[in-house]
Amino acid sequence: MPDPIHSIEPIDLMSSILVFCSVQDGRIKRSSLEAMTRARDVASGAGLGLSAVLLGSSAHDLAGEAMSYGAQHVYVVMDRVLDTHLNAPVLSALESVVREAAPRMLVAASTESVKDILGALAVRCDAAVLPDVASFALSADEVSCQRPVMAAKKLANTSSTHSLVFVSVRSGSYEAKQAPADGTVVEVAFTFDDATLRQTLKEVVTTAGDTVDLSEAQVVVAAGRGVRDENGRALVQELAEITGAAIGASRAVVETGLFPATAQIGQTGKVVSPDLYFAVGISGAVQHTAGMANSRIIVAINKDPDAPIFDIATYGLVGDCFTILPLLNAALRDAMN
Amino acid sequence: MQAAVQTGRMVLNAYDASAVEEALVLNAENGDPVDLVLVGPSTATETIRKALAMGASDATHLILENAEGADSHAISALLASHFDGHGYDVILTGKQSQDTDAGLAGAMLAERLGLPYATNAVGLRVEGDSLVVTRQGDAGQEIIVLETPCLVTCSNDMNNPRIPALKGIMAAKRKQIATESAAAPSARTAVAGTVDPPGREPGVKLEGEPEELVADLIRRLNTEAGVL
């Protein structure tokens, strides 16, 4: 790990793309590394540098990982208050880093924590924002992007000619690829007055079963209305266990309480793009498919042969999930061994 | 406690409907009024009537005929000048609009007004002078205590918005809607048009006996898809 330095060679204004790396369970999120890979390509095409920012007490330890994806400067803000997400201190920390780094763009993965701060940070830093994009590019005078609108039925070609542009990137839009750089860690001074917070994080309630992070998972097993009850849920859990999958759900079965709200996939929930997605008893309304249509292989199991999920499924199995899943679970167990 | 709600345009957004519902529930006990404000073209009046019919007291319509060209930056600037000096305890907004899904205007407004805020709320309750917000975060539900005045953006998972009863609809028709013509502040982003998302490769639909379906699927996952 390189030593931190407190004064660095002056960076020209607008000389870099700065990537905010989200940290979860002691690692940089895959979606952040995807965004960073794209930012690296865009920066190199435009003759800009690549920097990263990491927040929290593990920031320094993770700087090396950011460098392995090409970050030449890694700004770290080490305060423990940043170990859990609370918007006021995160905003303060990122504002300090943006002022110090003076980037052309700030790029981040479109996580719930990033969605929480992006608008306010833009007002604070006098930036334009292109949120939740599926792709982005930078030319001499503008940042352009495509972003899903109307529950992802359309992609809007959106752009900004503002001098500072923030972009948040949907998970799975790009592939994360390493390209090591000789980087420097820059510790950014940060003081935060609790008295000015006007907000307190009391607790974070996690649900048992959130063992695999949904938005990062390579395999997702998602349940819909066809998974009627606890017996159906047990079959879904078994399939997830066999395939090492995270469990997702449509809004219908979150509303009934059968699955936790953290499992919800779709326009109002999480966006996932795993290698393999099992849609079990999910009809495939656009509000759901908006969150999963970029999955590589989609296996749909539904007894209604006309269910719209079959329009996007790689493999559609017409049948009742209560009949199919026990057979599939047994066959997968054999196949995995 | 007074609450104000920013509604969407033309059709009441599901997220905004949840914000209206939550404001009505919050104020039901103390009888304080719920005021509405909407930015949008004059044709959006029906949207306001719908929210009034749910039980809101007063409404202001900031008329912006060319709302298409206004982004979150512009909308939040308009709303900030509306709220300046109003002194609401709580401002609720939907967490995003259902058409653009940008999800920026709420936090932008809070920042412009210098208010503490929480986004993507799925639960709210009053505790003394504070608001206890449950928000859906990345790894679970975050329970946050906000001092009032504050701003909260609401998820549609927060409640089931009431369907206005006939009495409410009739009463809403008699309610005054204050109108102001809004000058469009300059936007920082521009939409050049929309395109269809890239289509997926056509898949295969497997029909037949369950045992055959499963065997066929496993074979395809192994050989074609290479995911097992």
Q: Enter the ipTM.
A: 0.92
Query: Hey, is the C-beta of A137 within 8 angstroms of any chain B C-beta?
Result: no
Q: Which residue of A has its CA nearest to B228?
A: A336
Which residues does chain A have within 8 Å of residue B135's beta carbon, measured at their own beta carbons? 116
Per DSSP, the three-state class of A302 is strand
Q: What is the pLDDT of residue A3?
A: 46
d(CA A193, CA B118): 19
Residue A285 has pLDDT above 70, yes or no: yes
Q: What is the pLDDT of residue B67?
A: 80
d(CA B19, CA B153): 8
Quick check: do A16-196 and A214-336 share a fold? yes
What is chain A's mean pLDDT, rounded? 92
Residue A14 has pLDDT above 70, yes or no: no
Q: Do B206 and A318 touch (CB under 8 A)?
A: yes
Mean pLDDT of the A179-187 span: 96
Task: Tell me the CA distances in angstroms from A257 to A228, A250, B157, one per residue in order.
Answer: 11, 11, 12
Give residues 141 to 200 of B whose Cβ lies within 8 Å of A: 141-147, 150, 155-157, 188-197, 200
Q: Do A160 and B147 touch (CB under 8 A)?
A: no
Which residues does chain A have within 8 Å of residue B108's beta carbon, measured at their own beta carbons? 119-120, 122-123
Burial of A181 (C-beta count, 10 Å sphere; 0-12/13-18/19+): middle
Element holding A334 (H helix, E strand)? helix A321-336
Q: Domain A16-196: give its CATH code.
A: 3.40.50.620
pLDDT in tens, B16-41: 999 999 999 999 988 899 999 999 99
Q: What is the pLDDT of residue B85?
A: 81
Q: What is the pLDDT of residue B86?
A: 84
Q: Which residue of B has its CA nearest to A323?
A: B210
Q: What is the pLDDT of residue A188?
A: 96
pLDDT in tens, A76-134: 999 999 999 999 999 999 999 999 999 999 999 999 999 999 999 999 999 999 999 99
Q: Do A199 and B118 touch (CB under 8 A)?
A: yes
Element holding A195 (H helix, E strand)? none
What is the CA A154 to chain-centroid distance, rounded?
A: 21
Residue A4 has pLDDT above 90, yes or no: no
Query: Hey, is the C-beta of A86 within 8 angstroms of any chain B C-beta?
Result: yes
Q: Which of B75, B97, B104, B209 to mutate to test the interface with A (most CBs of A within 10 A)?
A: B104
Q: What is the pLDDT of residue B3?
A: 57
pLDDT in tens, B114-155: 999 999 999 999 999 999 999 999 888 999 999 999 999 999
Q: What is the pLDDT of residue A120?
A: 98
Q: Does domain A214-336 have CATH number 3.40.50.1220?
A: yes
Cis? peptide before A274, omega within 30° of 0: no
- Does residue A197 or residue A311 have the better pLDDT? A311
Q: What is the pLDDT of residue B2?
A: 52
Q: What is the pLDDT of residue A51?
A: 98
- Does residue B77 or residue B202 have the better pLDDT? B77
Q: What is the pLDDT of residue B66?
A: 82
Pairing of strands A154-160, B190-195: antiparallel
- The dihedral through the CA atoms of B184, B187, B191, B197 has a sign that is negative
Instruction: For residue B22, give how far its alpha carbon lies from the nearest alpha carbon of chain A (Å).
Output: 17
Q: What is the pLDDT of residue B4?
A: 61
- Nearest-Å Rg of the Cα atoms of chain A is 21
Domains of chain B: 3-181 (3.40.50.620)
Residue A209 has pLDDT above 80, yes or no: no
A205 pLDDT band (50/70/90 cuts)?
A: confident
- Does residue B102 or residue B10 have the better pLDDT? B102
Residue A7 has pLDDT above 80, yes or no: no
- Could you tell me what percent of chain A has a pLDDT over 70? 94
d(CA A48, CA A39): 10
**Block residue for tokens 């924590």:** A113
Residue A297 has pLDDT above 50, yes or no: yes
What is chain B's mean pLDDT, rounded? 91
- Does residue A207 or residue B210 have the better pLDDT? B210
d(CA B182, CA B59): 15
Rounded to two decimals, the pTM is 0.89
Residue A8 has pLDDT above 50, yes or no: no
For residue A208 the two structure tokens come to 């048992």
* Structural contact between residues B197 and B53, judged by C-beta atoms closer than 8 angstroms: no
Which residues does chain A have within 8 Å of residue B214's beta carbon, measured at their own beta carbons? 317, 324, 327-328, 331
Q: What is the pLDDT of residue A71?
A: 97
d(CA A120, CA A143): 20
CB atoms within 10 A of CB A9: 6
Residue A21 has pLDDT above 80, yes or no: yes
For residue B50 the two structure tokens come to 């719908």
For residue B131 the two structure tokens come to 């608001």
Q: What is the pLDDT of residue B1?
A: 47
- Could you tell me what percent of chain A has a pLDDT over 90? 82
d(CA B177, CA B47): 12
Domain ranges of chain A: 16-196, 214-336
pLDDT in tens, A212-225: 678 888 899 999 99
